[in-house]
Structure 1
Amino acid sequence: MKVLRGAWLVAAVGFMLLPIYTMLVVASAPDDTDLRGLVFNGFHLLDNLALLFGDGNFPLYVRNSLILCLGTAGLDVVFSAAAGYAMAQLSFPGRRALFALVVGTLALTPMVLVIPVFLIVKELGWIDTFQGMMVPGMISAFGVFLVRQFALGIPKELLLAARVDGAGEFLIFARIAVPLLKPALVTLFLVHFLAQWDNLLWPLIVANDPALWPLPVGLANFQSEHGLSYHLTTAAALVTAVPPFILMVSLQRYYVAGLTFGGVKR
C-alpha cells in the first residue's frame, strides 16, 4: 500500500511538473526549428537569456513590475492592516455597517470599477504615472476582511493590559498587533503581489508610455516585435516565474499559517 501511495504521489508530482519541464526545454532551444518540448536539443538557455536581456526593454519591464508589485502590495498591507485591526478591536459608531459595506464590495467584479476608476485617475492627471497604476490598488476589501478576521483572535486582555500601562492605540497597534498579525499580513502581501504580477488590464489602460510597462504588457509587446519566437518568448515567461516562486518558497510558512488563521491563539 505504501509503495502504491508513493508511486501515485510521484506520478502526480511529475504530471504537475511536466509543463515546467516543457517550458525549460523550449526556452533552451537554439531556435524555433525544433520545439519537440520533451527532449533537450542542446542547452542554450543562457544564450537565450543573454539575448533577451540584451534587449534594453525587457530589463525595464522587470524593473517596472517589481516597483509596481512591491509598492502596491506594500501599501495594501499597511492600509488593510490598520483598517482590519480597527474594525476588529476598536469601538466606533457604524463599525458593523462599514464592515458590511466592505464585504459587500467583494461581490462586485473588478470590471465594473474599471471605467469609474479610470475617470478618477484621468481627472487627477495620473495617466502614464506609477501612482496611477498603484494607488487604485493600495487597499483591498479582501485584505481588510482577512486582517479583521485574524485580528479578532488577538486576546483583548493583552490589549487592555497595554492600555493600563499607558500605551496609546498606535503604539499598541505597531508593537503588539502587527507582530501577531504577521501571518495574515504576509499572506495578504503574497496574494496581492501575485495578482498584480499577472495584471495585464489596468497597466494596459493607464500606461501608454512604454517606459512604464510592466512584464505582462511588455511580454505582449515583445511578441508583436519579435514575432512568434517561441524559444525567446518562453525564456521570458520562465524569467517572469522566478520572483513569485522565490517569494512563495521563502514565505511559505507564514502563508500557510495565514490561510489557516492559525497564527494567533489564546
Structure 2
Amino acid sequence: MIEPIGHVRAGVRPAQRRRRLHWSAIWGKWAAVAVLVVTAVVALFPMYWLFANAFTPISGTPPLTPILVPAFRLDNFARLLGGTKYYANWMLNSLVVALAITAWHVIFDTMAGYAFAKRRFPGRNLLFWVLLSTLMIPVHVTLIPLYLITRRIGLVDTLGGVILPGTAVVFGIFLMRQYIQTLPSELEEAARVDGAGELRIFWEIILPLCKPAVASLAIFTFVRFWNDFLWPLIVLNTPQNYTLTVGVANLQGEFMTDWGVIFSGAALAALPTIVFFLAFQRYFLEGVRMGAIKG
C-alpha cells in the first residue's frame, strides 16, 4: 500500500531538521574554536616575540620583522648577568616587595572580609561602601600627596616606601567579603554552640573554606606588585634599590642601547608571573567568577 505524499514529507522533514541542527552545532563549535585560536595567537604573539628576541643574539637595533624561529643561544643572558651589576638586587627587591604586600593582603583582607560579611556592627555597610569608593579614584591623582607623605616619614628610596602604599589597596577586602558571604552561617552558629570563640571560628572554619579565594587574592596581588612600575620609579633613586621593572627600564642607554640585554632582562622578569599563571590558572578563573557574585 502506497502511503500518501503528506505522510512521507511529515516523516522526512523532522529528520532533515535534525541533520541541519546537528551540522549547525558542529559548525558553531568549529567557529568558536577558530575564534579562540586566533584570539590566543594574537594575545600570546608579543610574549613569544619577546622570548624569541631574548634567545637570539642581537647587535644594535632589533629587527622590525618578527623572529619566528629563535637561535636558542644564551649570549644575551650572559651579557645581562655578567654586565649588569645590580640585576640580582633588582630581582631580590621585587621578590621582597611582592611577597611582603601579598602576605599582608592575604592576612588582613581575609579578616576584614570576614568582618564585613558575617559580623554585625554599627556603620558596617557605610564603611564598606566608603572603602569600595576608593577603587574609583585614579592612581595618578594620589601620586603627589603619596610621595609627600612618604618623604615626610623618611621612606623615600627604600623598599618600605614601595611596600607601605601597596598595603592600602582595598580590592582584596571586596573579593574576600563577596566570597565569605556565600559560606553558610550555620557553620559559625554550630561552632559557637560548641564554645568556640571568634578567633577560633575564623582560623579553623572560615579560613580553610576560603582557600580558593585566598589563592586568587594572593596571585592577583603578587602579579600586580611584581609588575608595578610607576610608583617604584617615583620613590626609588639608587640603582641598587630598584625593583626589577625599574631596573630593566634603566638598561636603555642615552646614546646606545643593547637591546639583547633588555629583551633577556624582560624575559626573566616575566617568568615568575608566567609560572604563577600556569600553576594556578584555575584560581584566576575562580577569582573572576567570584567578582560577579551578588553580595
TM-score by length of 1: 0.89
Name the CA shift for 1:41/1:133 in 2 (closer, same or farther; >3 Å). closer
Q: Name the residue aligned to 1:208.
A: 237
Trace 1:5-44 onto structure 2 (pairs within 5 A).
6=33, 9-32=36-59, 35=63, 36-40=65-69, 42-44=71-73
Q: Could you list the runs of 5+ residues in structure 2 that have no partner in the other structure? A: 1-26
Q: Could you list the runs of 5+ residues in structure 1 that have no partner in the other structure? A: none
Matched-pair contact (CA < 8 Å) for 1:28–1:40: no
Per-residue Cα deviation, 1:199-230 (whole angstroms, up to 9, x for no partner): 11211222222221101110121113793322
Matched-pair contact (CA < 8 Å) for 2:175–2:290: no
Q: Name the residue aligned to 1:145.
A: 174
Q: Name the residue aligned to 2:94.
A: 65
Matched-pair contact (CA < 8 Å) for 1:121–1:132: yes
Specify the SS of the correspondent of 1:166.
coil
Q: Name the residue aligned to 2:220.
A: 191
The alpha-carbon deviation at position 103 of structure 1 amounts to 1.1
Q: Name the residue aligned to 2:200.
A: 171
Matched-pair contact (CA < 8 Å) for 2:251–2:257: no
Per-residue Cα deviation, 1:55-107 (whole angstroms, up to 9, x for no partner): 22112111111111111122122111111110111111111111111111111
How many Å separate the matches in 2 of 1:230 and 1:75? 37
Deviates more, 1:248-257 or 1:79-88: 248-257
How many Å separate the matches in 1 of 2:57 and 2:258? 11
Deviates more, 1:150-159 or 1:219-228: 219-228
Q: Name the residue aligned to 1:82.
A: 111
Trace 1:154-169 onto structure 2 (pairs within 5 A).
154-169=183-198
Name the CA shift for 1:153/1:48 in 2 (closer, same or farther; >3 Å). same
Letter of the 1:23 counterpart: L
Q: Does 1:258 pair with 2:250?
A: no
Count the aligned residue pairs. Answer: 262
Specify the SS of the correspondent of 1:155.
coil
Name the CA shift for 1:105/1:62 in 2 (closer, same or farther; >3 Å). same
How many Å separate the matches in 2 of 1:153 and 1:6? 34
How many Å separate the matches in 2 of 1:261 and 1:6? 26
Q: Does 1:111 pair with 2:125?
A: no
Specify the SS of the correspondent of 1:49.
helix
* Structure 1 residue corresponding to 2:159, chosen from 93, 108, 130: 130
Matched-pair contact (CA < 8 Å) for 1:23–1:37: no
Letter of the 1:16 counterpart: A
Per-residue Cα deviation, 1:30-63 (whole angstroms, up to 9, x for no partner): 223663433446332x222122112221121111
Deviates more, 1:114-123 or 1:215-224: 114-123
Specify the SS of the correspondent of 2:183.
coil
Letter of the 2:151 counterpart: K
Letter of the 1:146 counterpart: L
TM-score by length of 2: 0.81
Q: Name the residue aligned to 1:48.
A: 76
Letter of the 1:181 counterpart: C
Letter of the 1:90 counterpart: R
- RMSD of the alignment, in Å? 2.3
Q: Name the residue aligned to 1:236.
A: 265
Matched-pair contact (CA < 8 Å) for 2:114–2:176: yes
The alpha-carbon deviation at position 169 of structure 1 amounts to 0.9
How many Å separate the matches in 2 of 1:87 and 1:7? 44
How many Å separate the matches in 1 of 2:126 and 2:31? 54
